Structure 1
Amino acid sequence: MSGSFPDPFGGRHKGTGGGFPGPGLWDALDQLREGFEQRFSNVGGGGRMARGDVRAAVLALLAEQPMHGYQIIHEIEERSGGSWKPSPGSVYPTLQMLADEGLITATESGGKKTYTITEAGQAEVDASEGKPAPWASSGSGSQDSRTGALPKAGMKLAQAAAAVGRSGSSDQVRQAVEVLDEARRRLYSILAED
């Protein structure tokens, strides 16, 4: 059993000896990152929004200017601070539905469809005036919440630690472990504050 250590995720990984974590630890950190992504991807970040939210977001953006589908996806992601990126599988059917309802029109140029809001679409946008923008309710306004910045920061930390583990020298790995230990202590001290 020398050279192995228990995996907090249920398995066992071989160590590299010399007291430094082996590649299994970095695999575990990758699993942790993936777990964060799965757990928080549907809560305030990158996850599914209700069909009406996609519809409202598309109409709101097209009320500002004509756009093609990719621009709409990118603009929603940008305005939500990265917390909501609708999939093409939700945006393009919504665009087709809105066109069928006469709320937008599509013109094709250079192989891309550009969508423009109609008077009927603008009337629907005007009727929802005063309501928060759909991307504002997707979690972007709560970047300090449990479903915003903290999980994303944890994912980024796990990615950085995994990168050091895969590519760093023994000394760099030791330094990274010290940094992570200090970060853990400081996080617990935040909870201990009054």
Structure 2
Amino acid sequence: MFWGCEHHHHHGHHHHAGPRGPRGPFGRGRPGFGGGPPGWWGDWFGAPPLRADRGGVRYLVLDALAERARHGYEVIQAIEQRSGDAYRPSPGVIYPTLQMLEELGHARVTEAEGRKVYEITDAGREDLKANRDYVDAFYERFAESSWESFAEDISDVMKRVGSLMKMLRHAMRRGRLTPAVLARTVKVLDKAAAEIEELLGEDDDRRGGRRP
């Protein structure tokens, strides 16, 4: 049951996570959205997936090279820009991937304006074509649910929860939370929580393709 439960979910590492401060009523971290999700935000709600799996990075790199030849830093920038600044692969991931693609014959090194750049080969284009679905699906996650819009939507929910708590505190100070009112309030909250849980369950079913 949602109400009164403790939530201790961990969703892995979050890119650009904000500073983690002392633990407060909603977990660690400070409220706010600047710079990424604070600790309590990630603990309660998680965050949009912000990392490519290890094997998938090569296809993001090939996709960046398919547009034009780039040096390593430009590949990082291209991926970051296409993800809406939500995912920035590290040099420690990109440069070994470029070297691997060169060894596979999927990219080759050339010079442009005195700088070493990588360009995609025909074999690389075939590899990218065969895995285009991965690349499109990866970036669609950011297009459909950018962190900014996600934060705004959840912020609306939290504002309503905060308003409810404020209303209950106000009623308690004025002596209006009688045993009878409390009992009815609990029933209303339980009903609302059950409906929300049902919505969340339906969402899981849709993602998993388990709709009847």
| Corresponding residue number in structure 1 for 2:136 | 133
Q: CA-atom RMSD, angstroms?
A: 4.2
- Secondary structure of 1:133's counterpart equals helix
Is 1:75 paired with 2:50?
no
Distance 1:98 1:150, change over 3 A: same
1:127 Cα deviation from its structure 2 partner = 2.5
Amino acid at match of 2:80: E
Distance 1:110 1:65, change over 3 A: closer
Q: Which runs of 5+ in 2 are unaligned?
A: 1-20, 165-191, 193-212
| Corresponding residue number in structure 1 for 2:105 | 102
| Corresponding residue number in structure 1 for 2:197 | none
Distance 1:55 1:188, change over 3 A: farther
Identity of paired residues, percent?
34
| Corresponding residue number in structure 2 for 1:164 | none
Q: Which runs of 5+ in 1 are unaligned?
A: 1-6, 12-26, 158-182
Q: Which has the higher contact order (CA 8 A, sep 6+)?
A: 1
Amino acid at match of 2:48: G
> Are 2:72 and 2:117, in contact at CA under 8 Å, matched by a contact in 1?
yes
| Corresponding residue number in structure 2 for 1:18 | none
Is 1:56 paired with 2:59?
yes
For 1:38 and 1:108, the matched residues in 2 are separated by 43
**TM value normalised by structure 2:** 0.49
| Corresponding residue number in structure 1 for 2:150 | 150
Q: 1:36-72 CA distances to partner (integer Å, 9 max, x unpaired)?
A: 68669x8435x33102221111111212211111111
Amino acid at match of 2:159: R
> Are 2:107 and 2:124, in contact at CA under 8 Å, matched by a contact in 1?
yes
Question: How many residues are aligned here?
Answer: 138
- Secondary structure of 1:70's counterpart equals helix
1:109 Cα deviation from its structure 2 partner = 5.1
